[in-house]
Structure 1
Amino acid sequence: MNTFLLPDLGEGLTEAEIVRWLVKVGDVVAVDTPIAEVETAKSIVELPCPYAGVIEELHGEAGTTVPVGKPLITVGDPDGAAYRAEERAGSGNVLVGYGTTESGGAGRRRRPRVSGTSVAPAAEKVPERRVPLVISPLVRRLARDAEVDLRALTGSGPDGLIVRRDVELEIARRVQTEPSTTQTVPTQPVAVGFEARTGLPELRRTPMSGFRKAVIATLSRSRSEIPEATTWVDVDATALVDLRESLRSATDPGPGLLALMARFVVAGLLKYPELNGYVDTEREELVQYDGVNLGLAAQTDRGLMVPAVAGAHALTTRGLDAEIRRLTASARDGRLTQQELTSGTFTLNNYGSFGVDGSAAIINHPQVAILGVGRIIDRPWVVDGELAIRKLTQLSLVFDHRVCDGGTAAAFLRFVADAFENPASAFADL
């Protein structure tokens, strides 16, 4: 019998939450069979089993947080599992995946398939309600906090996927129906306790996930260590939008606006490398990178993530577009690697996706700058001495004042702004 301990997942991670089990007690597994999905502060990963045999015990339910080095599963002797399965098959019961003869044990016995499928006989199995497909950790946590049984829901997403609105509709249904059954049921969530400073009841307490703890630590360190400054500029992006449309065809959607923006940001960083580095406080040195890993802020159900396009300086605009789309999809599915989440050298944040004009962002430590792009909207603008309707956006740059003065930051921002306003000319110089 072997016990599989939660392995060291790297990057200083000390724990992981069990998202869902891919096996159950009694299942026969081979070496490297996926047994569970676990969520760390960085991403969701699938853990393979290092042993072959039968699952004897699962150490924790879905939603349990397991420290590194603590038991995850116990795996028994594979020969014993096969023997027990054959005994059941010989008694006339149906072995999962195979048939049986009317004469019961007269048929040839077969060893169970080594997979995530239980070897329990069909005649003895009690039909069970399986939890439908749920991808988002936020949806799982929302359901758990509200005590919603996911097995009772019908997913409205693709292929029956349970999405956030399915859980929220179930919670709303409860609020509407429960008061009618009894007059003692409160219409508001039960308070957890009273907060001493305000005297108000607490609505609820929600434990912080490992991911949220990591975000808080990074942002708090940024605020405490970095003397930041912010500069911004309004930009006429009409020509940029026109260029994006000119690259679109019936058979080719062309690079997206974010990829075009990324191309100019990367060019600006190569021209002003002070903003593409970090501060080595131990050696009291300012370090500049030879190359750009462009971080892109992406909002997901788990919160804000900043995956990085590795080697962005060596990619074409189409290459940037493809990598941005891949990373965005991986972020939403919780499949980003630790390397993708921690290797950025500069961050580009598209605030416009939230419908706002700008923000004084917090630098993603240990980086030294972040550039934000606001929404692009029609506004009045003076062109050649005459008033015209143009597509305007705002660029805002937050930078670490230790690595450069305002002049360098303003020059970088102006370079990017000029490229937005005259993209064809900018491309000719790249």
Structure 2
Amino acid sequence: MSEPKVFLLPDLGEGLTEAELVNWLVSVGDEIRVDQPIAEVETAKSVVEVPSPYAGTVTQLHGEPGQTLDVGKPLISVLPVGATAPAPVVETVETKPAETGAADTYREEEKAGSGNVLIGYGTPGGSGAARRTRAPRAVVSASSTDDKPVVAPDAQKAADDLLLLRTRVPGKLGAVISPLVRRMAREHGVDLGDIHGSGDSGLIMRKDVEAVIHPAVEVSAGSTTERPVVEPVETQWAVDSRTGLGISSRTPVKGVRKVVSANMSRSRSEIPEATVWVDVDATALVELRAGLKKSDPHNTPGLLAFIARFVTAGLKRFPDLNTRIETAADGSQEIVGFAGINLGFAAQTDRGLMVPSIRNADKLSARELDVEIRRLTAVVRDGKATPEELGSGTFTLNNYGVFGVDGSAAIINHPEVAILGVGRIIDKPWAVEGELAVRKVTELTLTFDHRVCDGGTAAGFLRFVADAIERPTSILADI
């Protein structure tokens, strides 16, 4: 008889301490192999598939979608191939009359089978692994032939399981997933059993509970009778004491937004930043690309790829901007330089702002940079970027011109020491050889860490990139 092996959530890179469980890829009772993906977790701005280090039968899933798990805590339990499952443990639970019905309903659902898997429970008919009905330690009595007490589960975990039973919709196992939805229903006295979920397979969503808490009404003309309306309206939970306004929503800061918030706050608190900017005549670069596109419509780099090439060339001449500051335990600091450039670039996605980095970008041509920019943009928008692709940059290029703005004092992507922003390219009046002309003009903005260099270095780098944009043909011939 063998005990299941417990796989702990590993550090998925960059010293992460937690991850949000997005989706299970296996169920209790499934036979899995070594390195088979078992779950998707969101961490460091990406959705990562976690592989199993064990082969065997899944006996327990230690979490549910939407839950934040700490690194080093149990993720999944697997009974090794060929091992014998432990004998079932009989635990007597003294339930209150009001709780017995819910527990019985749950057991009937378990016998019936379901594709949805809960913590510690699974679809019957799989591996035959032992299942246990958990209850608070105080109400579990010993039941064994040798009179040795049965070790009860952790009290808090048992309480969570009872909460699941109480909020489970009869006949719809797994119809309530989000802890936020269950808490909202509990706080407002909403019976989840009376709600038909609007999500997939009857999944009860937050908006379903809010609709019960604040039902919309419509008063017909000439009548005082109120009746429900079909069209959804904005709901309010409470009135804010400071502003006197109704609170329309509460959004937990987690996942991507949590990572961005922590990183930006650290950048502002630790880095004494300064900003320099310059307007640039980009007409020659726009015309160069237009000419290349005529001769090769399908293999012409985008403008951002050309600017990225100018940036890597500029960083070679001004390497202070391609560094990082490290602080030792005794408070001493070092400026760490790199033998290469990993160029990060900001990409907007449905899950927030991502900054993937092109590794060894200084060794790539404009065409090769364009290929990597397109590839990494697609990867992050699909949520499949690795921690290495998202956390290895040494300098960031931010094209905020795509949002239709001219300039921005960007926040440095910690632990880097500088970020270059590019505004939109628009027609503006410009003096050319003493004559006023309409030119394609953009604004470059460089925000830098004043601890690693002074304004002269920052201005020199910015002027180099600006000159390259204004005279791309001659610069490309030299880099």
TM-score by length of 2: 0.67
Structure 1 pair 408–178 and aligned structure 2 pair: CA distance change class (3 A): same
Residue 251 of structure 1, CA deviation: 5.9
Partner of 2:148: none
Task: Answer with 1 or 2: which has the greater Rg.
Answer: 2
* Matching of residue 332 in structure 1 with residue 389 in structure 2: no
Structure 1 residue 386 corresponds to structure 2 residue 435: yes
Which residue of 23, 26, 29 corresponds with 1:23?
A: 26
1:352 partner letter: G
1:47 aligned to which of 30, 45, 50: 50
1:399 aligns with 2:425: no
The CA RMSD over aligned residues, in Å, is 3.8
Q: Specify whether residues 260 and 60 from structure 1 end up closer, same or farther in structure 2 by C-alpha distance, changes over 3 A only.
A: same
**Residue 216, structure 1, aligned to residue 261, structure 2:** yes
Q: Does 1:149 align with 2:199?
A: yes
The within-5 A match list for 1:352-367 is: 352-367=401-416
Moved more, 37-46 or 182-191: 182-191
User: Distance in 1 between the 2:66 and 2:84 partners?
Assistant: 28
Provide closer, same or farther for how the CA distance between residues 38 and 284 of structure 1 changes in structure 2, counting only shifts above 3 A. closer
Give the letter for the 1:3 counterpart.
V
CA offset at residue 340 of structure 1?
1.9
Separation in 2 of the partners of 1:237 and 1:31?
A: 54
Structure 1: distance between partners of 2:417 and 2:84: 57
The Cα of 1:118 is off from its aligned counterpart by 10
Name the CA shift for 1:295/1:148 in 2 (closer, same or farther; >3 Å): farther
Indicate conservation of the 8 Å contact 2:28/2:59, yes or no: yes
Please name the residue that 2:95 is paired with.
none
Partner of 1:13: 16
CA distance in 1, matches of 2:430, 2:202: 55
Matches within 5 A, 1:18-167: 18-76=21-79, 78=81, 148-151=198-201
Which residue number corresponds to residue 259 of structure 1? Answer: 305
Equivalent position amino acid for 2:311 in 1: V
Deviations 1:81-115 (Å, cap 9, x if unpaired)?
A: 99xxxxxxxxxxxxxxxxxxxxxxxxxxxxxxxxx
Deviation at 1:424, TM superposition (A): 0.2
Distance 1:236 1:360 in 2: 20
Q: Distance in 1 between matches of 2:326 and 2:52?
A: 40
> 1:225-304 residue pairs with structure 2 within 5 A?
225-248=270-293, 249-250=295-296, 252-281=298-327, 282-304=331-353
Say which SS state the counterpart of residue 72 (structure 1) adopts.
strand
Q: Distance in 2 between matches of 1:170 and 1:363?
A: 40
Q: Which runs of 5+ in 2 are unaligned?
A: 86-122, 127-171, 185-196, 220-225
Alpha carbons of structure 1 residues 233 and 331: separation in structure 2 relative to 1, 3 Å? same
Deviations 1:259-304 (A, max 9, x none): 1000001111111112111234443443433321111111122221
Residue segments in structure 1 that go unaligned for 5+ positions in a row:
83-116, 121-127, 132-140, 154-166
* Contact 1:4/1:50, CA 8 A, preserved across alignment: yes
**Aligned residue among 436, 439, 463 for 1:414:** 463
- Aligned match of 2:369 in 316, 320, 343? 320
Contact 2:13–2:388 (CA under 8 A) maintained in structure 1: no
The residue type equivalent to 2:199 in the other structure is D
The alignment covers a number of residue pairs equal to 367
Q: 1:81 to 1:319 in 2, by over 3 A?
A: farther
Of residues 249, 264, 267 in structure 2, which corresponds to 1:204?
A: 249
| 65-74 vs 392-401, greater mean Cα deviation | 65-74
**Cα drift, residue 21 of structure 1:** 1.4
Cα shift at 1:235 = 0.9
Q: Counterparts in 2 of 1:338-377, with a 5 A limit? A: 338-377=387-426
Distance 1:424 1:152 in 2: 61
Gap change, CA 1:178 and 1:250, over 3 Å in 2? farther
1:35-55 CA-to-partner distances (Å, cap 9, x unmatched) read 211111342111122233333
Contact 1:24–1:118 (CA under 8 A) maintained in structure 2: no
Using the TM superposition, give the Cα deviation of residue 398 of structure 1 relative to its aligned residue in structure 2, in angstroms: 1.0
Partner Cα separation in structure 2 for residue 204 and residue 319 of structure 1: 45
Paired with 1:81 and 1:323, the residues of 2 have a C-alpha distance of: 50
Distance change in 2, residues 1:22/1:229 (3 Å): same
